[in-house]
């Protein structure tokens, strides 16, 4: 399992698409949060806080993470190496979890350079250091959990096809629907007293709670339960005879 995890990391980081994906993420994030004027610009708010960063980054994740996961299983299936992996002392559980951990590690690596923004705001605060470090830490926890949930979703999509393009498009669509769909649907007051229950199904509902600095055990548990279920589904899809 460890060998496959390292192989996945090396394959992505040494590829052109890996470099491009990480560069695009940092470029888009940097432009919107530090250059372009508007509600997402961290310098225009007049307050040393990063809430706009945490609320905007999930929308970048919707395209970044499907690009990370699209080749994970689809390429193995296309090249015929998935069956080879399953004949070795690697069962579906270890294959999926090693790819999940590698994908989540890449998300963490993509987020790592953005910590520079915290230090900039820390220095620009009035007085210097006037920034809620706890809220920032909670926000990054929320992004990591959301990113892990998107990685798990991407693996499910990748496990269902041998086309990287199909895996990317379907993963991006599913992530968008699961992130925002139930929240938007529940806001129309179509279900009466069940509106809150519908909104509870949305990733956005649980992420916003954590991303605004409030870490509630139920929100963390929701993400962990979702990730576990999604990975179990991906494992089922790559079992021999389940194309």
Report the C-alpha gap between 149 and 62 in whole angstroms. Answer: 11
Which sign, positive or negative, has the C-alpha torsion 49, 55, 58, 64?
negative
Q: Supply the pLDDT for residue 96.
A: 93
Stated pTM of the model:
0.92
For residues 90 and 98, what is the distance between their CA atoms, to the nearest angstrom? 10
The pLDDT, as a whole number, for residue 158 is 94
Cα 37 to the center of its chain, rounded Å: 26
- Angle of helix 164-186 versus helix 203-211 axis, rounded to 10: 80
The closest alpha carbon to 25, from 100, 106, 99, 105, belongs to 106
pLDDT at residue 65 in the model? 95
Report the pLDDT value the prediction gives residue 176, as an integer from 0 to 100. Answer: 95
Q: Are 10 and 1 in contact (CB under 8 A)?
A: no
What are the C-alpha distances in Å from 164 to residues 25, 73, 105, 197? 20, 9, 20, 35
Reported as half-sphere exposure (CB side, CA atoms, 13 A), residue 199 has a value of 18
CA neighbor of 204 nearest in space, from 232, 184, 233: 184
pLDDT at 241: 54
- Residue located via tokens 């989540």: 104
What pLDDT shows up at residue 235? Answer: 94
Mean pLDDT by 10 residues, the chain (243 residues): 85 84 92 89 82 92 93 85 73 90 94 92 81 91 96 95 94 95 82 84 92 86 97 90 52
Alpha helices in the chain (DSSP H): 2-13, 16-30, 51-69, 74-79, 81-87, 92-111, 115-124, 133-159, 164-186, 195-200, 203-211, 217-238
Asked if 238 and 159 count as a contact pair (C-beta separation under 8 A), the reply is yes
| Matching residue, tokens 């040494």 | 14
Report pLDDT for 48.
Answer: 76
């Amino acid at each position: 399992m460890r060998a496959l995890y390292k192989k996945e990391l090396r394959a992505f980081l040494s590829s052109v698409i890996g470099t491009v994906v990480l560069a695009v993420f940092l470029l888009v994030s940097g432009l919107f949060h530090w250059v372009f004027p508007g509600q997402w610009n961290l310098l225009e708010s007049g307050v040393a806080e990063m809430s706009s960063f945490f609320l905007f980054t999930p929308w970048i994740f919707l395209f970044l993470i499907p690009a990370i996961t699209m080749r994970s299983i689809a390429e193995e299936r296309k090249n015929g190496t998935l069956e080879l992996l399953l004949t070795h002392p690697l069962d579906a559980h270890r294959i999926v979890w090693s790819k999940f951990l590698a994908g989540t590690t890449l998300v963490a690596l993509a987020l790592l350079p953005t910590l520079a923004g915290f230090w900039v705001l820390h220095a620009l605060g009035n007085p210097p250091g006037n920034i809620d470090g706890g809220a920032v830490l909670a926000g990054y926890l929320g992004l990591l959990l959301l990113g892990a949930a998107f990685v798990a979703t991407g693996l499910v999509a990748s496990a269902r096809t041998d086309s990287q393009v199909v895996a990317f498009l379907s993963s991006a669509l599913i992530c968008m629907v699961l992130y925002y769909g139930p929240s938007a649907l529940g806001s129309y007051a179509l279900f009466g007293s069940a509106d809150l229950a519908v909104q509870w199904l949305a990733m956005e509902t649980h992420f916003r709670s954590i991303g605004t600095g409030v870490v509630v055990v139920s929100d963390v548990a929701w993400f962990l339960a979702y990730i576990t279920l999604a990975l179990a589904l991906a494992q089922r899809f790559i079992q021999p005879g389940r194309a």
